[in-house]
């Protein structure tokens, strides 16, 4: 096999896979390049909690041997990836970026970890999350803040900030994420990469440390829509260990043949486009113009209950979160960071009736979205109301989930992908929201947009 070109650090998975299968690129040298890049850039980003260098090299050697023998497993075979440090990895510590689990080593893999391993991926290591996934800045008081590759004065978003930073910086080609209020889509937006939160039940959560059982989703962060589709297909499927999963084929990606003629995109202007920054608004209007140019029809839709969604979601979130941490918050409160401890203590005081009423009311929000989506293909919205906030701007970080949390409440599939930059050079992402289990539609629409723009080809100078 040939030595890889250093420029391939930013190559998409689907292109690399063809070259690996054809034995034009060595998985070992690809892994070595990623390890070298991580060693160079991680001191600036603090994305990794644990690096698994020896494991990565062993898996890369195994991949190369299998491919040379003609035993090619598929598009992730020999591809370096990272796992969010909520994902259980057998024999490798899983800290949740917390003091409480700083030395926890699982005795089994998460279902998705096992699937990605079986696909032949190469594990570079475990990357930072906001402590127990309870925030959008990925600023850990225990492991230090993870920083944004586009500008290290800014947050990478959260809670899957380590995956967002590692993928955006060209260290890993894919990172796993979990999404309770936007934790895949927010770091995708702050770091200018692609992230998809699938429909609730599409991907197993078994072995992913929970934040909120009824709002949690697992999914991938990548540098292209097609790569997100490849990784989601591998991660998807029924799992007897997760009773929320459904037995459906992998979603794939719908082909539109370069034109979106006949596609209808809905704009819910009375919530998603309120109180957003000028940079985000300008990028979204430019994206609408591009979609029209590609043949799509833009229509306005109404979501009458949308302004209640955040309150409903927060009641559910605080209730379930405090239940998960009930023992630790009672016996080890000093071991939590101040922001997470505040959330947990607030949840303890939430009346059971408030939680139950919120679970009842969520169905009204779900029906709103289903009604709005009944005559269109997808909703088009901003992912976040602003670009990545500066590190330490706690209030701005709190606002990052305002536009993502509603689809955790509804369980609808949501794709976050680049659509522009601010004058300061920070990425802006848009969000495509689809009908239940129609990931193929939003991925297909997103892919056409991506192929007709160049946002995904731009990378941070770090």
How far lies 279's CA from each of 154, 276, 420, in Å? 16, 8, 9
159, 163, 224, 391: the catalytic one is 159
140, 183, 391, 397: the catalytic one is 183
What is the β-pairing status of strands 297-300 and 264-267? parallel
Two structure tokens written together for 460: 């941070």
Two structure tokens written together for 321: 């979160």
Return the closest-CA partner of residue 303 out of 357, 354, 370.
370
Clarify whether 159 is annotated catalytic.
yes
Burial class of residue 244 (count of CB atoms within 10 Å of its CB; 0-12, 13-18, 19+):
middle
Q: How many other β-carbons are positioned within 10 Å of the β-carbon of residue 5? A: 10
Clarify whether 183 is annotated catalytic.
yes
9, 26, 34, 84: the catalytic one is 84
Answer whether 436's CB lies under 8 Å from 411's CB. Answer: yes
Rounded to whole angstroms, the Cα distance separating 434 from 416 reads 12
Active site residues: 84, 159, 183
């Amino acid at each position: 096999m040939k030595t890889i070109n250093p420029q391939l650090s930013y190559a998409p998975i689907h292109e690399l896979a063809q070259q690996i299968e054809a034995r034009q690129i060595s998985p070992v040298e690809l892994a070595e390049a990623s390890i070298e890049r991580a060693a160079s850039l991680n001191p600036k980003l603090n994305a990794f909690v644990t690096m698994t260098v020896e494991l990565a090299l062993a898996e890369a050697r195994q991949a190369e041997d299998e491919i040379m023998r003609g035993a090619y497993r598929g598009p992730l075979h020999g591809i370096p990836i990272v796992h969010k440090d909520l994902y259980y990895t057998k024999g490798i510590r899983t800290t949740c970026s917390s003091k409480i689990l700083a030395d926890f080593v699982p005795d089994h893999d998460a279902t998705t970890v096992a699937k990605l391993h079986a696909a032949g991926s190469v594990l570079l290591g475990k990357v930072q999350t906001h402590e127990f996934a309870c925030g959008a800045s990925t600023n850990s008081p225990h492991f230090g803040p993870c920083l944004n590759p586009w500008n290290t004065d800014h947050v990478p978003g959260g809670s899957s900030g380590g995956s967002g930073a590692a993928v955006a910086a060209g260290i890993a080609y894919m990172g796993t994420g979990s999404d309770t209020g936007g934790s895949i889509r927010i770091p995708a937006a702050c770091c200018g990469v692609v992230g998809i939160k699938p429909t609730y039940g599409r991907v197993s959560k078994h072995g992913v440390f929970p934040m909120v059982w009824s709002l949690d989703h697992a999914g991938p962060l990548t540098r292209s829509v097609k790569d997100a589709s490849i990784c989601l297909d591998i991660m998807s499927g029924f799992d007897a260990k997760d009773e929320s999963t459904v037995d459906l084929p992998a979603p794939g990606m719908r082909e539109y043949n370069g034109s979106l003629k006949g596609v209808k995109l809905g704009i819910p202007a009375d919530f998603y486009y309120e109180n957003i920054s000028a940079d985000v608004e300008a990028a979204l209007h430019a994206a609408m113009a591009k979609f029209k140019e590609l043949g799509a029809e833009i229509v306005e839709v109404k979501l009458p209950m949308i302004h209640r969604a955040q309150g409903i979601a927060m009641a559910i979130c605080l209730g379930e979160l405090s239940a998960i941490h009930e023992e630790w918050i009672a016996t080890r409160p000093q071991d939590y960071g101040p922001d997470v401890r505040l959330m947990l203590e607030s949840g303890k005081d939430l009346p059971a009736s408030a939680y139950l009423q919120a679970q009842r009311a969520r169905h009204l929000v779900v029906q709103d979205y289903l009604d709005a989506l009944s005559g269109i293909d997808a909703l088009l919205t901003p992912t976040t109301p602003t670009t990545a906030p500066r590190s330490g701007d706690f209030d701005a970080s709190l606002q990052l989930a305002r536009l993502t949390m509603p689809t955790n409440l509804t369980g609808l599939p949501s794709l976050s992908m680049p659509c522009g930059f601010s004058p300061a050079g920070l990425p802006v992402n848009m969000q495509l929201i689809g009908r239940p289990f129609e990931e193929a539609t939003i991925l297909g629409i997103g892919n056409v947009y991506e192929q007709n723009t160049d946002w995904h080809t731009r990378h941070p100078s770090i």
